[in-house]
Structure 1
Amino acid sequence: MKRPHPVCTRSLLALAVAASLAASTSPAAALAGPEPGPAASALTTVHVEADVAKAQSATNNVKLIGARQLDDENAQNFDDAVRYIPGVSVIDIGRFGANGFTIRGLESDRVAITVDGLGLGDSLDPASYQPYDFFRSTRGGVDIDALKSVEIIKGADSITAGSGSLGGAVVLVTKDAADYLADTGNDTFASVKAGYSSDSEETLASATLANRSGRVESLLVLTRREGHERASFDDAPAQTGPGRRTPDPLTRTSDNLLAKVDFVLGDAHRLGLIAEIADSTVDSEALSRLDASYHVRTGHDKSDRDRYGVKYEWKAGNRLFDTVEWRYDQQKQDSSGLTYMLFNSSTCPQSVRPCDRTEDRYYRQQLDATNIHFDKVFDSGGTRHTLLYGAGYQVRDADFSSVDTRYVGQTGQVTLVEVDPDFVPKTDVSNWNLYARERIAIAGGRFGLSAGLRYDNYDYKPRPDTHYQDPSGTVGDVSFAVPTWQLGADFKIAPEHTLWAQIGRGFRAPTVEDLYYATSTTPGIVDATGQEVDLWDSVANPDLQAEKSLNTEIGWRWQGDGHLLGVSVYRDRYSNFIEYVTRVRNPGTGYRVCNAAGTTCTVEYGDEYTTPANAGRVIVTGVELEGRWLLNRDLSLRFAYSYNEGEKQNGDPLASIVPASGVLGLRYDAPSRRWNLTGNLTHSAAKQRGDAVETAANGTVTPSSAYLSDRFTVLDILASVYLTEKLKFNAGIYNLLDEEYFRWQRVRFVTNGSGGVRGGVRGDGIDRYSEPGRNVRVSLAYAF
C-alpha cells in the first residue's frame, strides 16, 4: 500500500517524463473553429459554448475554462475545475471545505477571486485556533453551474483583479441570457440537468431558463446539490480516533440561484438587474477526534452569500469612449460554525460527567461596491490602440461573534453562556481605486505593447466594543495607498513564432485579521519603581502595509492553424509578507511578573511581545509548458506542464509549492460531432523532504510537515454523447487504473500522533487523506 513518505529522488529523466505528460482539455474546436456537421447548430444550444467567454486579463499567461468544458469534465467544484491545470490547486481545510486557490505557491487571500468584477470576502482563519477546528471562515459561495467562465491568471494582474493578485488571480464570470438566445428577435431556451458522482454520492439537479420578449432579456439558473464526504482510496473498517482510515462522515447540501433581467432601452442603452443567492450547509461527525475526553463531536456549518446588483451599459461610440459600463453591487457573506461536544472532563459544571458543550462562531461581511468602466479602440499613425480605464469605490463591514454554552450533564440545563472576546472588532473598510490599461498594436499586429497603472487607497476604521477589548491601546484607524503597474511586449519573429515578456507589480491589502486580531496584555510591575504597568503579549501594528509582488516572465509561442507550443519561465519576488514577529520594547527595564496567586514572581528585562509585521520575503521561480496539436480532423493532442520552486528570506523552501506536474490529453471527436472521447493522463512528482523543512531561530532544521506525497500517475476517461439533438449525456471514469495516491495540498497540514487536533493521525490514519479510487460521474441534460 502506497502512503506519503519523504524518500524520492529528483532526476532529469523524471523531469522529462513529467514534461511530456502535461495538460489542457479544451475541445479540439479551439484550434479547428466551429464544429462542422448538419446538427452542429442544434447541438451547440444544449450548453453555453466555451468560446462565448472572453479573457479579462491582458497578460500572456492565462488559462480560460468555458462552461462547455466544465460541463464535459463533470466539474462539481473548483477543485474539479483546475484538475487538469498543472501548478494550480485548491486549498482543502477539512470540515470547512475549500478556502481559495494556490497559484505558484501562494494561497488563500494571496490569490484574488472575483465574480463579475466583485471581490469575494476575506477569510478569517487564526492559526492559533486552527487545531481546535471550531471555526474557519472560507471564501466559497459560488456554484460552478452558474458560471460562463473560470479564468486562471498566472502572475500579477492587479489591473484586472485588484487586491490579492500577487502570484495570480481567478476571475469568474456568470452566465447571461444572451449566451443561450439567438442574436435577435424573441426567443426562449430551457434546459434541465441531472448528475451523480460516486466518490461523494453527490446528486445534482439544475434548471436553466432564458428568454427574450421584446426589449426584455431574462435568465434564471437554479442548482441543488446533495452529497456526503469524499471517499478515500479503500473502504477500511469503521473506527474512531486518530487511527481512523476513512474520512469522517458528513452531509452536504447547497442551493444556488442566479437571476438576471436586462432591459434593452435602445440600440445603445441597456439596464440590467442581478441576484445571486447561494446557501450551503454541512453536518459533520468528527469520529477521528474522539478519545477519552470527547465522546461525541459534531459540526453544523453554514455558508451563505447573497448578492444584488444593477448594471447600466451605454454604447456611445464617441471620442472619449466606445462603451461605458456602470454597476453597483451589494454582497453579504455569512459563515457560521456550531460545534457540539459530549465532553468528559473535571471542568464539567457541577461535576456531572460527561457533559454537553457547544461552541458557536459567526463571521459576517457586507460589501457595497460601485464601479465605472470605459473602453475605447482607435487607430492613430498606423497603430491600433485598445484603451480601458475606470474607477471604483467600495465599503466593507466586518463583524464577528463567539458564544460558548455549558450544560449540566446531558440534561439540557444551561449553566453558563459565555460570550468570548471577538477575534476581530467590528470594522469598516473603505477603498477607492483608479486604473487604466492600453494595448498598442504596431505594424499590423506584428509588434504589441501593453501598459497598465492602478492606484488604490484604503481606510480601516475599527469599532471596539464590550466584546472586543484592546488593553494594549494599539488598535486604531489605518490608512495607506498602493500604486501598482504592469508592462508587456510581444513580437512576431516569424508568422507563427512570437516572443513575449511581461513584468508587473501586484498587491494584497491587509485583512481585518491581519490588522486587528485580538490583542492581549499581562499585569507587571517596574522592578525599580514599583509602578504597575500592562506588559504587551500580542498587539496590533498600525504601520502595517500591503504585501507586494514583482512578477517577471518571458515566453515563446509557436502557433498555427493546427498546432500550438508555448514555453515560459518566470521569477516572482514577493515582499512585505505579513508575518507574526517577536519584538522587545524597553530592553533595559526590569519588570516583575507574578503568577495569578501572587506567590511566585520573576524579574524579566524588556517587554517581549508578538505583532504582525511586513517581515517576509519569498522568491519563486519556475517554467511552464503548453502544447496542442490537431493530428487530423477528428483527433487532437494537448499537454501542459508546470515546475516551480520557492525560497524564503532565511533560505527555507516555500512549503506551499505544489510538486511538478503535467497532464497529457488525447481527444477524439466523431465525424458527426455527436460524440467525443477524451483520455487525460496526470502525473505528479513527489514532494521532497528538502522542500518541506523549516529552520528555527537557533538554526535547528525540522520537517514542516509530518507527511510527504509520493509521485503518482492517474488516468481519466471522459465522454460526451448527444443522444438526440437536445439530449446530452456526459460520463467520466476517474482514476481508471485504481491508483492509490495522496496530494501534497491535502497531506501537508496533517499532524502525526495527535488525535486532539484537527488533522491528527496515528498509524494507518493517514489513509483517510488518500484520494478516491476508481470512481464515476454521469450527467444528463435536456434542452427544450
Structure 2
Amino acid sequence: MTIKKNKLALLVGLLCAGSATAQEVYTFDEVVVSATRTEQNINDVAVSVDVVDDKAMEENLAQDLSQAVAYEPGVSMPGTGRFGNSGFNIRGLSENYVKTVVDGVEQPSSYDPGADVMRKYNNTVETDTLHRVEINKGPSSSLYGSDALAGAVIIRTKNPEDLLEAEGDDTYAAVKTGYYSADESYKATATLANRTGDLETLLIFTHRDGHETATHGSGADIEGRDRGQADPFDINSDNLLAKAFYQINENHRIGVTGEIFNRDAEGQILSNEGYEMMPGFTYTRNSAQDEDSRKRISFEHSWQANNAAFDHLKWQLTALESETKHSTFDETPSNGYRNRARNGVDTSNQFDAQFDKAFELENSYHEISYGVNYITNEFELDYRDYYLEGSKAGTSVDKTGEVPNAESVKWGVYIQDQAFFMDEQLVVNAGLRYDNFEAKPKNSTEHKNSKSDAVTAKLGAVYHWTDSVSSYANVSQGFKSPTLQDLYYFYETDAAMGAVFEANPNLKPEESIGYETGMRFNYAFGRIDVSVFYNDYTNFIESRKTAEDNGEGKEVWTKENISDAEIYGAELKTQFALDVLVGAPKGMYTDMSLAYAKGEDKQNGEAIDSVAPLTAQFALGYAEPQGTYGGKVAVKAVAGKSDSDWSNANGVDNVKAPGYAVTDITAYYRPMSDLTVRAGLFNAFDKKYWEYSDLSGKEADDQGLDRRTQPGRNWGIEAEYVF
C-alpha cells in the first residue's frame, strides 16, 4: 500500500473544505504548528489547540494579548493596574507554568517578588505586529522543554509573505489608526512590505499614547486605600519590527529579524495617599515612573537539503534583552521624600535547530522532527533608595535584591514522530525530550549552584471514523525547572519581630502528567470540538515555615517541593455557518464555547485559586460575502467563585467573585476596497464586574475592591488604509 502525504495537496484541500456556499466566508479547517512543531491539519493532532489569527484580533479590536485570547475556552491573561498583564493562564495554571515563545524565541520568566514596587512580566508584545497566536493546552515539555508544565503559547509575528502576492515583485503599504475609550488611548501603525527579486523586507512601527485602563465608573474618585478609580497614569509605547529574508537559491534562505519595544508610564499612586503601614510610615506624595523595554535580534537559515538524514533544516540564533526600570516616589516622616528605584534585566542568547525528515514504509508514512535548544541567561537586579528631600537629602542607599544576580544555562534535545497508518485513518504522535538546567549565582559565596534535569515524553493518537468525525487521546508530561526566584529568594525584616526567608538551591523541578481525550466533528455547516482532561501535578514549590524562632524571635521560612495537585475539566467549542445549517442569509454564523475546570491541592484538599470558574461564550455574527461589511454580538458569561472555590490560604476568607455576563458588539465597513473602518462597543450594558483573578487573596473588608473592577461601558474605533 502506498500512502501519499503531499503538503501542497493538504493545503489545497483545506482551502477547498466545506460547501461552495460556506467556503467564501468560513474556514473550519486550520493548519497548526505548535502541536507537533511542523505544519499539520488540526484534525490530525492529538491535543487541544486554539488559534487566534490577525483577522480575529482586528475584528475584535484586541489591543493586548489579554484581549486577543479573551474568547478562547480555558485561556486567560490575568493582571491589572500599574504593572499590567502578568502572563497566560491555561486550564488553571499561569505565569511561569506556561511557556511563551515569540518567533521561536523563548521569553524570560516572570519575576514577581510580592512587593508593590517591582514586577517584571512578559507583556511587552505589540498586537499589531502579530500574525498568529497558537495555544497548545496541556503539558507540552516534550516539545518545548521547561515551563511548558501547563501548556505553551506559540506566537508568530507577521512575515513579508503574509502581506505580499504569492509570486513576483510586489509592495504592500498600510496605515492604521484608532482610539479606545477604556484607557483614552490612540495608536498609529505603519506597515511596509516589499519583494524585489529574491529579497523580501518588512517594517512595522506602532506608537500608542494613552492613560490607565479605567475601572467601573461607580468607584470613588478619592485619595487613599478606599479609592475606587484606577490610579491616574500617562502611558505611551513604541514598537519597531524589521525583517529581511533573502532566497540565496532554491535550497537556501536566510533571514534577519530585529525588534525594539519601549513602554513609558508616569503617574500618581493616589490609592496609597495617607496609608499608614506602621508608626512613622505614613505614605504621602506617592507617584511612579516606569520604563519597560525589550530588544531582540535573530538570524535564521533554512536549508531544503533532501538528504538521507533530513529533508529540511532550520536553525536560528537570537540575542534578547528584557529590562524593567521602576521608580516609586513617596514621603514618610522617617525617610523624607525618596525614590525607591527597582531595576531588573534579563539577557539571553538562544540557539535552536530543527531537522525534519519524511519517509514512507510499506504500511505507514512518517514525519520525523528532531532538534536541539541551547539558552544562556543572565538576570540582574539593581535596587537603590535615593533620598531627595528631608534630613537624608542627597544621599542614597544600596538595597539588596530579593535574589542574587545569577546566570543560567539550559539545553535540550528532542525527537518526535507524526505517523500515519491505515491510509491516514489512524495518526499516532510520539515524542521524547531530555532537558538539563543549571543556575549559578554571580559573585556570591552564600548561594550554591543548582542543577536539575528531566526526561519528558508524550503519546497521542487520532482516529478518523469518517471524513467528518474523529476522536483523539493523548498522555503527555511537563516540567518546570525552579526559577531563580524559587531557588534564591531571601529576605530578613529589620524589625526585632518578623520573619526570615531563606534560599533553597536544592529544589527539584515541578512535574506534571496530563491525560486528554476528545471528539471532533467537521461538516460543511460547521465544526464541533469537545474534550475532557485530567492533569496531575507533583513537586509543586511552595513557601513553608521551618521554624517558629531563629533565636532572635523571628519565624523562618523557605521554599520546598511539598505539594501535589490535580486539575480536571471539560471544554466545548463550536463554529456554525447558519446559512448552510438552517438556511439563514449567507454570511451568518455563530461561535460558542464552554469551559469547566476544577482544581485541588491533594495535600490539604483545598481549591487552587488560579482555576477559573465555569465560563461560557456565545457570538452571533454576519460577514457579507463580498467582504464589504459585517459585525458580531458576543456575550461572555462567568460563574461566581466563593467559599470552597477559594483555598482559604493563610487563613484568608476570600471575598466572593460574583458571576457576570458582558456583551460586546463589533462591526466593520469597507466603503472602498482599500479602506476598512472597525468599531466596537464593549460591556454594552455597563455591567460592574471583577475578574476572579483580581480578587484572589482579598477579604470582603479589604479596601479598594472597586479599584479592581473591569471597565464599564467603553468603545473603540479603528481605520486602516492599504495603499
TM-score under structure 1 length normalisation: 0.83
SS in 2 for 1:723: strand
Out of 367, 381, 389, the residue aligned to residue 386 of structure 1 is 367
CA distance in 1, matches of 2:592, 2:293: 37
1:483 and 2:436 are equivalent in the alignment: no
SS in 2 for 1:288: helix
1:702-744: CA deviations, max 9, x gaps?
Answer: 4453x22211111111112222111111111111222222221
1:651-730 matches, within 5 Å, as 651-694=605-648, 702-703=651-652, 705=654, 707-730=655-678
1:380-412: CA deviations, max 9, x gaps?
Answer: 113221111110111101111110122443x9x
AA at the equivalent of 2:457: W
1:113-512 matches, within 5 Å, as 113-127=100-114, 130=115, 133-234=116-217, 236=219, 238-291=221-274, 293-343=282-332, 345=333, 347-348=334-335, 355-409=336-390, 414-465=393-444, 473=446, 475-512=447-484
1:742 and 2:690 are equivalent in the alignment: yes
CA-based RMSD: 2.7
CA shift for structure 1 position 516? 1.1
Do the aligned residues in 2 keep the contact of 1:452 with 1:487 (CA within 8 Å)? Answer: yes
1:51-130 matches, within 5 Å, as 54-58=32-36, 59-127=46-114, 130=115
CA distance in 1, matches of 2:706, 2:552: 47
1:21-62: CA deviations, max 9, x gaps?
Answer: xxxxxxx9996689878xx9xxx9xxxx99997432135200
AA at the equivalent of 2:247: V
CA distance in 2, matches of 1:366, 1:660: 39
1:130-186: CA deviations, max 9, x gaps?
Answer: 3xx111111222111111111111101123432211112211111101111122211
CA distance in 2, matches of 1:630, 1:204: 34
AA at the equivalent of 1:176: N
CA distance in 1, matches of 2:484, 2:16: 46
1:291-346: CA deviations, max 9, x gaps?
Answer: 16222100111110000110011111222222100110000010111011132x2x
CA distance in 2, matches of 1:580, 1:313: 46
Do the aligned residues in 2 keep the contact of 1:53 with 1:148 (CA within 8 Å)? Answer: no
Do the aligned residues in 2 keep the contact of 1:50 with 1:149 (CA within 8 Å)? Answer: no
Do the aligned residues in 2 keep the contact of 1:583 with 1:610 (CA within 8 Å)? Answer: yes
CA distance in 1, matches of 2:20, 2:459: 31
Do the aligned residues in 2 keep the contact of 1:548 with 1:574 (CA within 8 Å)? Answer: yes
CA shift for structure 1 position 682? 1.0
Cα distance, 1:50–1:397 mapped onto 2, change above 3 Å: farther
SS in 2 for 1:515: helix
Out of 709, 713, 720, the residue aligned to residue 770 of structure 1 is 709
CA distance in 1, matches of 2:28, 2:201: 21
1:608-665: CA deviations, max 9, x gaps?
Answer: 7322211111100101011121111321122111000100021011011111101111
Cα distance, 1:182–1:594 mapped onto 2, change above 3 Å: closer
AA at the equivalent of 1:509: S
CA distance in 1, matches of 2:506, 2:408: 16
SS in 2 for 1:318: coil
CA distance in 2, matches of 1:134, 1:359: 8
AA at the equivalent of 1:671: P
1:630 and 2:577 are equivalent in the alignment: yes
CA shift for structure 1 position 421? 1.4
CA distance in 1, matches of 2:598, 2:683: 27
CA shift for structure 1 position 228? 0.9
SS in 1 for 2:672: coil
AA at the equivalent of 1:57: A
CA distance in 2, matches of 1:196, 1:31: 37
Structure exhibiting the larger radius of gyration computed from Cα positions: 1
Equivalent residue, structure 2, for 1:612: 559
CA distance in 2, matches of 1:559, 1:51: 8
CA distance in 2, matches of 1:167, 1:55: 18
Do the aligned residues in 1 keep the contact of 2:682 with 2:713 (CA within 8 Å)? Answer: yes
Cα distance, 1:29–1:205 mapped onto 2, change above 3 Å: farther
CA shift for structure 1 position 274? 0.7
SS in 2 for 1:279: strand
Equivalent residue, structure 1, for 2:519: 556
Cα distance, 1:772–1:695 mapped onto 2, change above 3 Å: closer
Do the aligned residues in 2 keep the contact of 1:161 with 1:171 (CA within 8 Å)? Answer: no
Do the aligned residues in 2 keep the contact of 1:708 with 1:748 (CA within 8 Å)? Answer: no
SS in 1 for 2:177: strand
1:73-107: CA deviations, max 9, x gaps?
Answer: 11000110111113211121531111111111111
AA at the equivalent of 2:621: R
CA distance in 1, matches of 2:714, 2:77: 20
Cα distance, 1:594–1:456 mapped onto 2, change above 3 Å: closer
AA at the equivalent of 1:500: Y
SS in 1 for 2:124: coil
Shifted more, 546-555 versus 631-640: the winner is 631-640
1:576-616: CA deviations, max 9, x gaps?
Answer: 111122335xx9xxx99468xxxxxxxxxxx9732221111
CA distance in 2, matches of 1:174, 1:457: 29
Cα distance, 1:213–1:226 mapped onto 2, change above 3 Å: same
SS in 2 for 1:159: helix
Equivalent residue, structure 2, for 1:732: 680
AA at the equivalent of 2:201: S
1:520-563: CA deviations, max 9, x gaps?
Answer: 699x9xxxxxxxxxxx9433223211111111011112212222
AA at the equivalent of 2:409: S
Do the aligned residues in 2 keep the contact of 1:146 with 1:174 (CA within 8 Å)? Answer: yes
Aligned residues: 686
CA distance in 1, matches of 2:131, 2:313: 22
Out of 583, 591, 594, the residue aligned to residue 641 of structure 1 is 594
1:577-588 matches, within 5 Å, as 577-583=540-546
Cα distance, 1:206–1:31 mapped onto 2, change above 3 Å: farther
TM-score under structure 2 length normalisation: 0.90
Cα distance, 1:200–1:157 mapped onto 2, change above 3 Å: same
Equivalent residue, structure 2, for 1:699: none
SS in 2 for 1:745: helix
Cα distance, 1:269–1:306 mapped onto 2, change above 3 Å: same
Do the aligned residues in 2 keep the contact of 1:294 with 1:342 (CA within 8 Å)? Answer: yes
Do the aligned residues in 1 keep the contact of 2:16 with 2:23 (CA within 8 Å)? Answer: no
AA at the equivalent of 2:473: A
Equivalent residue, structure 2, for 1:513: 485
1:681-717: CA deviations, max 9, x gaps?
Answer: 1111111211113266xxxxx4453x22211111111
Q: Identical aligned pairs, as a percentage?
A: 30
Out of 540, 565, 568, the residue aligned to residue 528 of structure 2 is 565
Q: 5+ unaligned residues in a row in structure 2: which ranges?
A: 1-14, 37-45, 276-281, 580-585
Cα distance, 1:206–1:30 mapped onto 2, change above 3 Å: farther
SS in 2 for 1:145: helix
Shifted more, 668-677 versus 545-554: the winner is 668-677
Cα distance, 1:29–1:642 mapped onto 2, change above 3 Å: farther
Shifted more, 479-488 versus 227-236: the winner is 227-236
CA distance in 2, matches of 1:726, 1:448: 43
